[in-house]
Chain A
Amino acid sequence: MESPPSTSESPLELDALWQEHGELDPRVYDDPSIHALEQEHVFGRSWLLLTHESCLSEPGRYVTTTMAEDPVVVTRDADGSIHAFLNQCRHRGVPICRHEAGRARSFTCSYHGWTYDGRGRLLTVPDEAQLFRCPLDRDTWSAIPVPRIETRHGLVFGSWDPQMPSLEEWLGDARWYFDLAFDRPGGTEAVPGVSRRRLAANWKFGAEQFTSDDYHFSFTHVSGNTAMQSQRPEGVEVPNALKLPISLMHTEQGHGMGFLSSIDHTPVVFGDPRIHQWVTGPRLEYLISKYGKRAREVFPIHMNFFPNTAGLWPCELRVWQPRGPGQMEVWSWALIDRAAPSEVKDALRVDFQRTFGASGVFEIDDSHHWREAQRLLGGWQTRRHRFNVQLDGRAEGLPEPELTAAPSERGARHFHRRWTQMIQAKQAQGGAR
């Protein structure tokens, strides 16, 4: 660990950042030395979302993205398999690929012309035989591969840690909920385009809110909710979105989800009746056949799978990409049920865009509060005093149940506990099993 800055702040002791009775040191959101540890010990040892399979629709397709702040190229090879490698030329460190997406058999660095194949393997080096003393060893000088890739319901994940437990083990007790959120009859496709926006706030503000924060809804979203209520079309029922019967799932691995405890409540969420018919009809029949009758009692609304893969009703997949301690990029895809009628696909997309898209009437006020919290952290006093994460707290030492009624911050406490364990390079309790 680097030395803490010489101010009168209390020294940066990693194991004191999170305190079990629900107090959080604000420096987790903006300290550069914590950010550096986080990149290595949290993002370096997690499953990170790379893309959706439908963005790699055929062999030769690629996309570029980042794993935390490390740029990677994600490709589909001739045999259909998915690969990823660090987007940095081994010669002088220039990006190997400068495009957001496309189709290519090989990638040539524009600086000196080193060329890599679709798996990142070094193919050719200009004038190699004449200019280098011996042929360059391909095992040593190929692009750095992402050693682990796994796909689940179309979501493509990668990890830098060769020793990672499988994605299924990583999801642990949250796996069933993850499946319910992303498994669809006929699979899913991403609407063309990725919404990306820079936000002057640490990524954890978003991740933690999506894990377990229903508490903010009735204050933060009052303008969006009131506007939707007052402008509802004649004869369309739009019950109050602030009073949804939400339950929370949270696990010791730091994953969390808020869900409606009855599928019958779906029309209350910004409801287009065509969406309601689809999700309570063909989609629900499919989910019950695979996941049992309880699928009727779990309708996912908001979720975060530790550390930074998030999802949101009606159809959003999102990833919180850190960009330095005080900035993030929010990347969003609209994931549409392939088997849905085209008017349902349109309704899902439009609903997402108007509510939680970059300009959405709810999203705007969430982003605002994360930015405002971050803005204050340049101070001396504002970094000194701990934040309260005690809502629905239980006495010390009692095991926290997996499910609670909202609002509750148990999921946020799991999130911060797991994160604190990881930046200390400790194996999180209940992590790999």
Chain B
Amino acid sequence: MSAPVSAPIDVAQQLRVERFLYEEAALLDAYRLTEWLALVTDDVVYRMPVALPDEPPSSPRSEVERSLMHFEDDHGGLSVRVARLGSKAAWSEQPRPLLRRAITNVRVYPGEDGQLDVRSNFLLYQYQHAAPVDLLAGARNDVLCRSGEGFRIRRRTIELDQRVLVTRSIGVLF
């Protein structure tokens, strides 16, 4: 998705969206996940596809939609993850890793039914034990719907810039 750079920009809306994404990122970094879960809609679709081979796609779009995913969650699936991550027996998170993410390159486009299509980039740093630096880069393609003065996430598709995953864990949320 893109728009000509000369397209008019709604500065107030851009700032509102950025602020929402920054506050959301702060909740994820701090493992305040129950609060985070309140920011997604009941019909949320949350996905991270497995990168397919870099050949021209020969299969129709509908099949690509059914490709393997690292995440393919609805609200129930995300609730299970949040419940697990909140458990003292979530061993992979003991000791709790230090997470720090930067959300950048935020671009806001008009979507369907007054919703917003929002693209952003992320860098997620994870530290658990003294180990090689664990840095994940990628992009998120969100559909945000308005909710009062703020927004809620209706759809999130995460594009992780790794083909073979090389990280402590992708058991956290993005």
A198 B165 Cβ-Cβ under 8 A:
yes
> How far apart are B124's CB and chain A's nearest CB, in angstroms?
13
Tell me if B6 is interfacial: C-beta within 8 Å of chain A.
no
> In the complex, what distance in Å separates the CA atom of A345 from the CA atom of B84?
26
Interface size class of A (residues with CB under 8 A): 35 or more
Closest to A190 in B: B68
Question: Do residues A231 and B164 form an inter-chain contact, with CB atoms below 8 A?
Answer: no
* Cβ of A365 under 8 Å from chain B: yes
Known: A226-B87, A231-B79, A368-B91. A358 touches B70 (CB 8 A): yes
**Is B15 on the interface with A (CB-CB < 8 A)?**
no
Interface string of A114-134 (1 = CB under 8 A from B): 000000000000000000000
A312 to chain B, nearest CB (A): 15
Shortest Cβ distance from B81 into chain A, in angstroms?
6
Contact assessment for B66 and A230 in the assembled complex, using a CB-CB cutoff below 8 Å: no
Q: Which residues of B contact A369 (CB under 8 A)?
A: 91
Contact with B along A220-254 (1 / 0, CB 8 A): 10111011101101000000000000000000000
B68 touching A99, Cβ below 8 Å? no
Judged by a CB distance under 8 angstroms, whether B30 is at the interface is no
Instruction: Report if A223-B91 is in contact (Cβ < 8 Å); known contacts: A192-B59, A359-B48.
Output: yes
B83 touches A227 (CB 8 A): yes
Our pick among A194, A226, A349, A359 for the contact of B171 (Cβ within 8 Å) is A359
Q: Collect the chain B residues with CB atoms within 8 Å of residue A196's CB.
A: 163-165
Contacting residues, chain A, for B77 (C-beta < 8 A): 350, 354
Instruction: Tell me whether A365 and B91 are in contact (CB under 8 A).
Output: yes
Contact of A357 among B67, B70, B80 (CB under 8 A): B70
Segment of A100-108, A163-171, A202-210 in the binding face: A100-108
At the interface, yes or no: A51 with Cβ under 8 Å from chain B?
A: no
Does B10 sit within 8 A of A, measured CB to CB? no
Partner of B169, one of A223, A230, A334, A364: A364
- Chain B 128-174 residues near chain A, CB threshold 8 A: 129, 131, 163-167, 169-171
Given contacts A100-B54, A368-B91, contact A233 B68 (CB under 8 A): no
Could you tell me the distance in whole angstroms from the C-beta of B157 to the nearest C-beta in chain A? 15
Contact B164 A198 (CB under 8 A): yes
One of A99, A228, A230, A364 near B55 (C-beta < 8 A): A99
Interfacial chain B residues near A191, Cβ < 8 Å:
66-68
A63 shortest CB reach to chain B, Å: 8
Tell me whether B83 and A230 are in contact (CB under 8 A).
yes
- Tell yes or no: B50 within 8 A of A by CB: yes
Interface status of B92 (Cβ within 8 A of chain A) = yes
Bound: A357/B48 CA distance, A:
12
Q: Say whether A353 faces chain B, with CB atoms less than 8 Å apart.
A: yes
Chain B, range 38-69, C-beta contacts under 8 Å to A: 48-55, 58-59, 63-64, 66-69
A226/B83 in contact, CB under 8 A: yes
Residue B23, interface by CB 8 Å: no
Least Cβ distance of B127 to chain A in Å? 14
**B171 shortest CB reach to chain A, Å:** 4
- Closest CB in chain A relative to B34 CB, distance in Å: 12
* Alpha-carbon distance between A101 and B163 when the two chains are bound, in angstroms: 13
A112 at interface, CB cutoff 8 A: no
Residue A424 is within 8 A (CB to CB) of chain B in the complex: no
- In the complex, whether B90 has a CB less than 8 A from a CB of chain A is yes
- Report the nearest A residue to B77, measured CB to CB: A354
Which residue of the partner chain A has the closest CB to B87? A223
What is the bound-complex CA distance between A358 and B163, given in angstroms? 12
Counting chain B CB atoms within 10 Å of each CB, which of A100, A329, A346 scores highest?
A100
**CB-based contact B169/A367 at 8 Å:** yes
| Nearest CB in chain A to that of B64: its residue | A192
Contact of A358 among B73, B79, B165 (CB under 8 A): B165
Q: How many angstroms from the CA of A159 to the CA of B113 in the assembled complex? A: 57
B52–A192 contact, CB under 8 A? yes
Interface presence of B111 (CB below 8 A): no
User: Is A263 interfacial (CB 8 A cutoff)?
Assistant: no
Q: How far is the CA of A353 from the CA of B80 in the complex (A)?
A: 13
Q: How far is the CB of B172 from chain A (nearest CB, A)?
A: 9
Residue numbers in A under 8 Å from B54 (CB-CB): 99-100
Asked if A197 contacts B164 (CB within 8 A), the reply is yes
* CB <8 Å contact, A102 and B83: no
Instruction: For the complex, give the distance between the alpha carbons of A346 and B67 in Å.
Output: 10
Interface of A with B (CB < 8 Å)?
Answer: 99-103, 191-198, 200, 220, 222-224, 226-228, 230-231, 233, 329, 333-334, 345-346, 349-350, 353-354, 357-359, 361, 364-365, 367-369, 375
A to B CB contacts below 8 Å, 5 in the list: A192-B66, A223-B84, A231-B76, A353-B70, A359-B70
Q: Which 3 residue pairs spanning A and B have beta carbons closest together?
A: A193-B68, A227-B83, A197-B165
